[in-house]
Structure formats: C-alpha cells, structure tokens
C-alpha cells in the first residue's frame, strides 16, 4: 500500500503482468499479554495524561472503548490515504479500490490502478526505439580492506614511513597493486563518455536462442 501511495503521484503507471497493486487500506494489530501477566501475578502500571493517550497496548486490559477509538483512528488514516490517491488519480473509482484488496496486473489495469501492462525490458527497449539514451548505472562499493592488509596497499605507505619501505613481500604486493590500478585507469580512459561506459545494450540475441 505504501508503494502504491508513492507510485500514484506519477503521470503514468506501468505495471508488469504479475505486479500486485492496491492494498489501499490501513491495519493495526498488537499482541496482548494482559491475561498472562495477571495469571503470573504481574501487574503493569502505566501513567498517562489524556483520556486516549494509551488505547491498545500489550500490557493493559483492552476495553470496548479502546477498540472503538483505535478503529476511529485508523479510519481517519484511511481517509487521508484514499484522499491522497484520489487527488493524484482523479479518474480512479476510489470507493471501489480503497478496500484493502490487491489485484494482479491486468485486473489492476481494469480497475484503473495503472495505465499499461509491460515488463521492464519492454519499457526500456521502447525508449531505445524512440531514440533515447538508456543508461545502465552500476555502483560497486570499494572492498573493505582489513586493517593489517591496508599497509600493503599504496594508500598505506604513509603509515609505513618512507615510500618503498617494508619487507620484500610487502613491496612486491604494492608493485602488483600499482600495476593493476594503472591497467584499470587505462581501460577507463579508453571509454570516457557516459554513453560509452553506461549505455544499456540490447543483448536479446545473446540471451534468447531459437532452436528447431
């Protein structure tokens, strides 16, 4: 439901065939251990100011008045929720969908919860056909180097003192790291533009093979 609340502000909602949309409703639940605590001889005291500061809690005896107030509270949240969705999708029959129910792709389309049914690949390939630059951005965080091994890397040289210091194995590892770093920088320099480095490619022919 929270996901649809974020999605409904879009000008157009495209859902995959097996996407689950809806769940425009509110739920509140909490376990209650009052009777068990009472059986064990444990009395839990709560001091509040304000008649409805505490209604449903795990430790107090729940009254009909508490349940009625909680129901009133979540009904108010539902009005806020459904009103927000209706404001962003005016054509939606909000009374028909603000029931807490969910619908799969095509059924959701019939209800007006989305505007089209397509897979992610269909959407991206359509943008490519229209001449847009479709970019694929991938972020790989740098690996965490154990503190002891950090001294073997170039950025650990300051901690070692003079550059080139240390034992022969450490100098050998530093040399290897420098060589690999130079190769990586060289490879990156060969493809400097964002389009060359991140352009998404249609690899359907590589992934899908037709056999007799």
- The residues assigned a catalytic role are 1, 53
Q: E strands, the chain, where?
A: 14-15, 20-22, 102-104, 116-117
- Asked if residues 14 and 114 have their Cβ atoms less than 8 Å apart, the reply is yes
CA distance 122 to 126: 6
Compute CA distances 206 → 121, 201, 203, 209, whole Å: 15, 11, 5, 7
- 103 phi and psi angles, rounded to 5 deg: -135, 145
Are the CB atoms for 30 and 57 separated by under 8 Å?
yes
State which H helix or E strand residue 35 sits in: helix 34-39
């Amino acid at each position: 439901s929270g996901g649809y609340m974020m999605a409904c502000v879009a000008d157009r909602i495209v859902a995959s065939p097996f996407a689950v949309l809806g769940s425009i409703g509110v739920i509140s639940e909490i376990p209650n251990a009052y009777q068990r605590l009472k059986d064990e001889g444990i009395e839990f005291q709560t001091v509040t100011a304000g008649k409805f500061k505490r209604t449903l809690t795990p430790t107090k005896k729940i009254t009909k008045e508490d349940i009625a107030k909680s129901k009133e509270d979540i009904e108010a949240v539902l009005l806020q929720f459904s009103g927000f969705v209706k404001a962003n999708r005016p054509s939606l029959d909000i009374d028909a969908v603000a029931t807490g129910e969910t619908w799969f792709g095509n059924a959701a389309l019939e209800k007006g919860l989305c505007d089209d049914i397509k897979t992610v690949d269909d959407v991206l390939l359509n943008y490519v056909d229209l001449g847009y630059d479709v970019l694929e951005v991938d972020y790989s965080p740098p690996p965490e180097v154990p503190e002891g091994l950090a001294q073997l890397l170039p950025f650990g040289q300051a901690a070692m003192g003079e550059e080139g210091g240390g034992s022969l194995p450490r100098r050998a590892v530093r040399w290897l790291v420098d060589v690999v770093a130079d190769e990586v920088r060289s490879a990156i320099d060969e493809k400097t533009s964002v389009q060359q480095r991140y352009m998404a490619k249609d690899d359907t022919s590589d992934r899908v093979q037709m056999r007799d």
